[in-house]
Amino acid sequence: MRWSRYFLYTSKEDPADAEAPSHRLLLKAGFIKQVSAGIYEILPAGWRVLKKIENTVREEMDKSGAQELLLTVLNPAELWKETGRWDTYGSELFRLKDRNEREYCLGPTHEEEITDLVRKYVHSYRQLPLILYQIQVKFRDEKRPRFGLIRGREFLMKDAYSFDRDEESAKMSYESMKYTYERIFKKLNLETVTAQASVGQIGGSYSHEFIAFTEYGEARVGFCKECGYAANAEIIPLKQILHSAEKEKPIKKVPTPGVKTIEELSNFLGIPPEKIMKAVLYITNENKPLLVLIRGDREVDENKLEAVLGTDEFRLAQDDEVRHILKTEKGFIGIFNLPPHVEVLWDNSLYGVKNLVVALNEPDYHYINVNPGRDFTYGDFVDIAEVKAGDPCPQCSKPLEVKKGLEVGHIFLLGTRYSEPMRAYFTDSDGKEKAFVMGCYGIGISRIMAALVDQHHDEKGIKWPLSVAPFELEILCLNMSDEAIRKTAEALYKEALEKNIEVLFDDREETAGFKFADADLIGIPYRIVVGKKVKEGRVEIQERNTGNKQDIPISNAISYVLKLIGKEK
């Protein structure tokens, strides 16, 4: 491809509205163009990358025995009503009507449609197991689209669905997908960890997430280098820990005027946060107050709280609610003088802590040296603390590491969550009618492109791994008006094409510096620089990833590149 004719337009300025590196660089390099919030056009160079990602996914899925098909974007409402998700999916579902007032949605995922399809054709255990998949644009009206391709409202996804005769066989399908996913991410040069995950809204019995490490991810993973355990932080259990037998000191009321936060209180009293009881007031769905108690150095993980309460219908109390219910101010909430209708939950972190600092629901005062048994009695203990680095691994108790990451794949063992309500049955070998045991498996194709940029870039631009690069080779002609240089570059371009190298030829009438800057930005792994060394019969080979440069005779250049990209036999 000649750049002078290519629909690839880079920008010298950083785009104003992009913060994440992947977002900024993909826009700046001219790979994507924003149309509206969370909706992007994929431009030719970006599309080349996306197709490579897609093909890698496709190759491995096919190898696993899964079969590709294409479902519809426009889904009839009836199917969604069968599973109840027409009502429960909420405003994230793009809904529309046709000219006859029939209701449709733009498919955000395809459990309903695939189950409908399979129930029409598969009636016997002899046709199982079965895995079908598609690569298609998905639509989700996200509350908050973010970071360009990382969270879009329209995005490319690979979704697969497995159908098995029983749980045991379904687990085998699940395991084979898990293995396939790990191979895919490895091939794509995307560093991921396979983490146990919560099943969330989709339902089912168990689930894994594939998390790519990046600063701009929205997930937190805890993992253990010792035993290999890894899980989304929101499901890692934290147990009660017995504390050393400290001597109980006499309880004392101390003035703490205007001291509001745990940090201020800790500094004011000279007592570490580990010995302060933090109390957080929530309001539950029935407008009931719920007081959550946790150690001062800990945060409440609202995902865990949701799991404990069995609902996400709760929120933090407002300042005036705190005043009204507890007759105190934020910062002075405690367990003493509690109105009887306030429900209380104790986080495991508080268990056994002695000589605590506790507020008493009276502004500007705290008790110090408060002790369990003597000064108060425990209520119900639950696990609602956010996991931090250094917390014990639930498997081997060694300290965990915690990192931020981006969910690029998620697999679920669904069971009969969809097949049962949709009456998707087959006849088993015992002659009995049974519901399919299903699994579903997603990979965010366009999100992977963003994750790859996040993992492979520097201050100058993108450094595409060869496996997904839009081109394998870029030829830079540094001076188009110099006859000898131009002819050499043209000849090398022709030779590269003949050898089936994916090559971008920068034949634009621009200066050398301009072309180098652009080359760094768009991140093609290898380049041949054709400049004044042509007089000495040489060109320069550069590697974007390592920055390595070396001169080479013109006649050897292409065969050297072939070796680099592994196409040489």
Contacting RNA within 19-48 (CB under 7 A): 19-20, 23, 34, 36-38
Binder of RNA out of 2, 6, 15, 95 (CB under 7 A):
15
Return d(Cα 419, Cα 417) in angstroms, integer.
6
Answer whether 484's CB lies under 8 Å from 534's CB: yes
Q: State CA 88 to chain mean position distance.
A: 23
Structure tokens at 523: 């991140």
Answer whether 250's CB lies under 8 Å from 369's CB: yes
> Residue 320: which of 310, 329, 309 has the closest Cα?
329
* Residue nearer to RNA on the CB measure, 157 or 503: 157
Return d(Cα 407, Cα 43) in angstroms, integer.
24
- Min dist CB 315 to RNA, Å, is 9
Phi-psi region of 316 (alpha: psi -120 to 50; beta: other; left: phi over 0): beta
Return d(Cα 389, Cα 378) in angstroms, integer.
27
* Residue nearer to RNA on the CB measure, 85 or 165: 85
> Residue 436: which of 120, 163, 138, 39 has the closest Cα?
163
State the sign of the Cα–Cα–Cα–Cα dihedral 511, 512, 517, 523: positive
**Positions in 453-472 near RNA (CB under 7 A):** 460
* Residue nearer to RNA on the CB measure, 129 or 148: 148
Structure tokens at 300: 């409440």
Binder of RNA out of 99, 120, 144, 341 (CB under 7 A):
144
The answer to whether 410 contacts RNA (rule: CB under 7 A) is yes
Binding mask 93-132 for RNA (x = CB under 7 A): ----------------x-----------------------
Amino acid residing at 151:
R
The answer to whether 493 contacts RNA (rule: CB under 7 A) is no
Binding mask 549-568 for RNA (x = CB under 7 A): x-------------------
Phi-psi region of 258 (alpha: psi -120 to 50; beta: other; left: phi over 0): left
Q: Tell me if residue 269 falls in helix, strand or coil.
A: helix
Structure tokens at 103: 């209701």
**Positions in 218-257 near RNA (CB under 7 A):** 218-219
Binder of RNA out of 31, 80, 133, 147 (CB under 7 A):
147
- Min dist CB 477 to RNA, Å, is 9
Tokens 């949605």, located at residue = 105
Answer whether 171's CB lies under 8 Å from 408's CB: no
* Residue nearer to RNA on the CB measure, 350 or 541: 541
**Positions in 185-204 near RNA (CB under 7 A):** 200-202
- Min dist CB 180 to RNA, Å, is 14
* Residue nearer to RNA on the CB measure, 202 or 466: 202
Return d(Cα 157, Cα 279) in angstroms, integer.
42
Kindly state the DSSP code that residue 125 receives in the 8-state scheme: G
**Segment lying near RNA (by CB under 7 A), choices 15-23, 116-124, 259-267, 331-339:** 15-23
Query: Residue count at the site for RNA (CB under 7 A)?
Result: 74
Binder of RNA out of 290, 517, 564, 565 (CB under 7 A):
517
Helical H runs in 135-208?
167-187
Q: Tell me if residue 427 falls in helix, strand or coil.
A: strand
Answer whether 458's CB lies under 8 Å from 148's CB: no
**Segment lying near RNA (by CB under 7 A), choices 151-159, 160-168, 275-283, 344-352:** 151-159
Binder of RNA out of 56, 518, 524, 554 (CB under 7 A):
518
**Segment lying near RNA (by CB under 7 A), choices 13-21, 113-121, 365-373, 491-499:** 13-21
**Segment lying near RNA (by CB under 7 A), choices 72-80, 119-127, 299-307, 377-385:** 299-307
Binder of RNA out of 520, 523, 524, 562 (CB under 7 A):
520
**Segment lying near RNA (by CB under 7 A), choices 14-22, 334-342, 348-356, 417-425:** 14-22
The answer to whether 162 contacts RNA (rule: CB under 7 A) is no
- How would you classify the pairing of strands 538-543 and 526-530? antiparallel
The answer to whether 53 contacts RNA (rule: CB under 7 A) is no
**Positions in 390-409 near RNA (CB under 7 A):** 407-409
The answer to whether 312 contacts RNA (rule: CB under 7 A) is yes
* Residue nearer to RNA on the CB measure, 146 or 434: 146
Return d(Cα 221, Cα 23) in angstroms, integer.
23
